[in-house]
Structure 1
Amino acid sequence: MPSAIIQPTAAHTATVIFAHGLGDQGESWRAVISGDYDYRQPGELTIPAHLPHVKWIFPDAPKQEVTANFGMTMPAWFDMSELPLRPGQFLKEVFETDETVKNGVQIFDDLVQAEVTAGIPESRIVVGGFSQGGALALVAGLGGNDWRTKSSGDESKLAGVVVLSGWMPLREQFKSRISPHAKSIPVLWGHGTADSVIYHKVGEISVELLQDQHGIVKHSAHDQLGAPGVNFQSYERMGHTSCEKEMEDLVTFLGSVIPQQQTQNL
């Protein structure tokens, strides 16, 4: 599968696999993370420079028909029937197709396994994504071997999960397919309060479901970024996009869950 990649500039000891949103491509997020859309002040480090030991992989989603967009064919991790996602309808309906979500998770699983084969332990791999990619990362990151069928699934545990402007897909299936390690995996969840595509309240409800149904602890303090459980961060007036503060929180989170270390300490 085609992927945009940012190679580490120090000894490669950790990997982040990050999925784009519906209709996008991996190159867009490679540009964001690498600093091509530069908001930094003179002398400020780029995100990869803060994390020189990390390899970044930005896969391209396969093209498929998307019901929510009138059946148009576009890059998509899975099919879904409705957009935008509003809080009222979110609790009443299921919008995702189980089979296509499984297919999307398998793409993540294959990429994780390729990194493990190359010598990076699963405990040093983070999966993440934006919007639909974030929803997929949540399933791939917290799901057991009913989701990640090619991995050791319940025998393994990722370093962390990043969900930006996402939601919990397939709520009923999530109950039976969650990993026994889910409570101990750190999750960074960022969401803009002005998001009109995946409403901020949908993100809040998703985190509440993780807490109420699965016993996953919810945090909100910045000094708990990287702690086991979900750290939910709201960004005022941010729409369906990202911002400088969210990227700063991402660096802090990754620095906590996959800190730089010497190769021999792996």
Structure 2
Amino acid sequence: MASLVRSPPLLFPATARHTATVIFIHGLGDTGAGWASAVENWRRRQRLDEVKFILPNAPHIPITCNWGMRMPGWYDIKRLDGNAESLRRDEDEPGVLVSQAYFHELIQKEIDSGIPADRIVIGGFSQGGAMSIFAGLTSKVKLAGIVGLSSYLLLSLKFADLVPKPTPNQDTPIFLGHGDSDQVVNYELGKKSYDLLKGLGFKATFKTYPGMGHSACLEELDDIENFLKERLPALGKGDEKSEL
């Protein structure tokens, strides 16, 4: 796993003074470019002008449920049959932890560049959403928010033991969205993950999109935009020297 090769993330610089960053993670078999149109959608109303968007690219790894063929993935998946328990069984913990370290590194790079942790949101879709929840809640810095779309809680049977103590993100808002017709990541698994997070005291909200499969709809994209605007409000010009 140490020899993984990743393409650099796709970047959308802030159109105004850069005061906040969103890291949004694609799903299995996709690339960062697959979410470029969603970023354009989120920026179209010019309510997120101070936000830089980072769309990471997963390395090509063998995926067991794809007959071992290599494809972009953040961790291996043994079975993908829509069963709520299949994704929880035989999880690729080493792969999850390698990707977790990579996302923690991306967060730290933003902090090192001058963006406070509480002006950073991490989110994603499917595998990317699962990684955003896991990496976000195991982060040692307090983030502005976490988004998980059509996803689930990784390593759920031991998750409570993997979270830092004390937990910086205990009160960090988490937006979870899921279609109730999802045939890939079972809707009930998404709901169970939400219930588990709430049971651990995390500040999660769960929204169901009736009739939606394993995808994202315009209503959900608008909900994410509103979440980002709420969590990353514009700060204005700021820090300008007085002319007195």
- Give the match for residue 174 of structure 1: 159
- Give the match for residue 231 of structure 1: 205
- TM-score by length of structure 2 reads 0.89
TM-aligned CA deviation for residue 238 of structure 1: 0.8
Give, in whole Å, the separation in 1 of the partners of 2:169 and 2:196.
13
CA distance 1:191–1:263, change in 2 (3 Å): same
Give, in whole Å, the separation in 1 of the partners of 2:63 and 2:33.
21
TM-aligned CA deviation for residue 33 of structure 1: 1.9
Q: 2:177 aligns with which of 187, 190, 202?
A: 190
TM-aligned CA deviation for residue 96 of structure 1: 2.0
Q: Could you say what secondary structure the match of 1:129 adopts? A: strand
Q: 1:255 aligns with which of 229, 233, 241?
A: 229
The question of 1:204 aligning with 2:181 is answered no
Q: Which has the higher helix share?
A: 1
Q: Residues 5 and 58 of structure 1 are in contact (CA less than 8 Å); yes or no, is this contact kept in structure 2?
A: yes
TM-aligned CA deviation for residue 17 of structure 1: 0.3
Q: Residues 122 and 158 of structure 1 are in contact (CA less than 8 Å); yes or no, is this contact kept in structure 2?
A: yes
Q: Which amino acid aligns with 2:12?
A: I
Mapping of 1:44-83 within 5 angstroms? Answer: 46-47=43-44, 49-83=46-80
Q: Which amino acid aligns with 1:245?
A: E
Q: Could you say what secondary structure the match of 2:188 adopts? A: helix
TM-aligned CA deviation for residue 182 of structure 1: 3.3
Q: Could you say what secondary structure the match of 1:116 adopts? A: helix
**How far does the alpha carbon of each residue in 1:23-51 deviate from its partner, in whole angstroms, 9 at most, with x for none?**
1000110122214xxxxxxxxx8447221
Structure 2: segments with no counterpart, 5+ residues:
1-6, 240-244
Q: 1:164 aligns with which of 149, 167, 179?
A: 149
Aligned residue pairs total 231
Q: Which amino acid aligns with 1:231?
A: T
Mapping of 1:1-266 within 5 angstroms? Answer: 1-35=7-41, 46-47=43-44, 49-89=46-86, 93-144=88-139, 153=140, 156-179=141-164, 180-212=167-199, 214-216=200-202, 229-262=203-236, 264=238
**How far does the alpha carbon of each residue in 1:204-254 deviate from its partner, in whole angstroms, 9 at most, with x for none?**
011111122x122xxxxxxxxxxxx11111111111110111011101111
Q: Residues 14 and 55 of structure 1 are in contact (CA less than 8 Å); yes or no, is this contact kept in structure 2?
A: yes
Q: Which amino acid aligns with 2:130?
A: A
Q: Could you say what secondary structure the match of 2:222 adopts? A: helix
Give, in whole Å, the separation in 1 of the partners of 2:77 and 2:38.
26
CA distance 1:108–1:263, change in 2 (3 Å): farther
C-alpha RMSD over aligned residues: 1.7
Structure 1: segments with no counterpart, 5+ residues:
36-44, 145-152, 217-228
Q: Residues 33 and 48 of structure 1 are in contact (CA less than 8 Å); yes or no, is this contact kept in structure 2?
A: no
**How far does the alpha carbon of each residue in 1:79-119 deviate from its partner, in whole angstroms, 9 at most, with x for none?**
121113422545xx424211110111111111111111111
Give, in whole Å, the separation in 1 of the partners of 2:86 and 2:101.
28
Q: Could you say what secondary structure the match of 1:172 adopts? A: coil
Give, in whole Å, the separation in 2 of the partners of 1:200 and 1:236.
11
